[in-house]
Amino acid sequence: MEICVIGAGYVGLVTSLGFAKLGNNVICVDIDINKVVSLNNGIPSIYEEGLEDMLIECLEKKNITFSNNIIEGIEKSNVIFIAVGTPEKNDWDIDMSQVYEVISQISNNILNYRLIVIKSTVPIGTQKKVNKIFLENGVSVDSFDIVSNPEFLREGRALHDFFNGDRIIIGCDSLRAKKIMKELYEPFTCEIIYTSPETAELTKYASNAFLASKISFINEIANLCNKVGADIETVAYAMGLDERISPKFLRAGIGYGGSCFPKDTKALVKIGDKHGIDFKIVRGAIEVNEKQRFIPIRILLNKYGSLEKKIITILGLSFKPKTDDIRDSPSLTIIEELIKNNANIKCYDPIAIDKVRNIYSNIMYCYNLYDAIENSDCIIICTEWDEFNSLNLGKIKDSMNYPMIIDGRNMLDGKKVREKGIEYYSIGKSN
């Protein structure tokens, strides 16, 4: 098929490459000309495993091209995916300006039938609203269909998730649209659910809010473990053996971050408010998550009283491993609290360091893990990068000013760390 994807962010880029790899011809459109030029030269705008190779492969096969000309994209394609950002506004509402700008451009430029697929996470009722805008802009009913097709991929595993999703959900009222979507998703083996647009739109929010609540739930249990001497790893493992619970998303720590869970949980609460539904569980999940990131600061203040002139090392800056995305990362809240407490900060991350460098000037950025640890009064692990699994504990002990680790992701073996003479704190582990 001839496909246009509008927006070359995480979702748009992965969707473009995924469909190009499957043999479709894709034009991916973005307003950022620098990004377009880099992508056409095979240089990815984000870090994602396997993405660079797939980009180069698809460019060589001429299955994909990047452009900043949206009209060209609309003219050359039968299916148009909208994958632009829907960021959070201050009042927890969603900023839909990018989506509506794109809708205006498409509706003013289509000459014959186009299928418009909304991939961006959008409030419930958006498909209907977009449909109305097309009709109001004089586009005939025969010339378009609008489909809601939310994305479920995870950063760090995005390409894997594109090809191996648990389900594909397609919300549309039109048989014509359903037929095209069926053909487009023909190569996929997972279950495809055809439903109403509202159901599709809500499924996305419900899934993310449920997963976020699961994390906050286990984090509260972990906080209790710390108080009563129970072990969160064993509690989570034993809970997870119950098939109804499942072991996934039961990793306790300093909380979730990223561009999705924080934004989508708040948006769902806001949407509920508009309809007179008070989402108490989701509100609770948000509150627990916001407090969770302060745990390392509390431990430090208990230990040192004042953090003035203490050297604190942050290991891991991205909101999760295998990505350079730092949006709403717990590490940033921790850095800000440390700055307020006049601590000296050193940080290290295998990939995300340059993104943080653009935000804070008065902290020390290290490109070598052991440089970041030298003379430190405490290490805080904020992201469970693989390389932190094989820390040289002896070297750490010798090079720190005071040997202390706060393991915000419960990734180290506490017993081994303590045996080396390093003070160890976790989120609810007894070891």
**Interface residues with ligand UGA (CB under 6 A)?**
121, 151-155, 208, 211, 215, 249-251, 253, 256-258, 260-261, 264, 319-320
Question: Quick one: CA dihedral 136, 141, 144, 148, positive or negative?
Answer: positive
Spatial distance between the Cα atoms of 320 and 189, rounded to a whole number of angstroms: 28
Alpha carbon distances (Å) from 360 to 311, 317, 334, 353, 373: 16, 13, 13, 11, 19
Three-state DSSP state, 276? coil
CB of 15 to ligand UGA, least distance (A): 12
User: Closest CB to ligand UGA among 76 and 327?
Assistant: 327
CB of 211 to ligand UGA, least distance (A): 6
Place of tokens 């479920």: 152
User: Closest CB to ligand UGA among 123 and 257?
Assistant: 257
CB of 260 to ligand UGA, least distance (A): 3
Q: What length is written for the chain?
A: 431
CB of 152 to ligand UGA, least distance (A): 4
User: Closest CB to ligand UGA among 110 and 170?
Assistant: 170
Spatial distance between the Cα atoms of 132 and 378, rounded to a whole number of angstroms: 57
Q: Which one from 28, 58, 260, 347 is the annotated catalytic residue?
A: 260
Spatial distance between the Cα atoms of 204 and 264, rounded to a whole number of angstroms: 9
By CB atoms closer than 10 A (0-12, 13-18, 19+), residue 421 is exposed
Nearest CA-CA partner of 412 in 383, 428, 388: 388
CB of 259 to ligand UGA, least distance (A): 7
Q: Per DSSP, which regions of 183-310 are E strands?
A: 191-195
Three-state DSSP state, 350? coil
User: Closest CB to ligand UGA among 150 and 403?
Assistant: 150
Q: Active-site residue 4, yes or no? A: no
Q: Which amino acid is at 64?
A: I
User: Closest CB to ligand UGA among 180 and 315?
Assistant: 315
- Catalytic residue numbers? 260
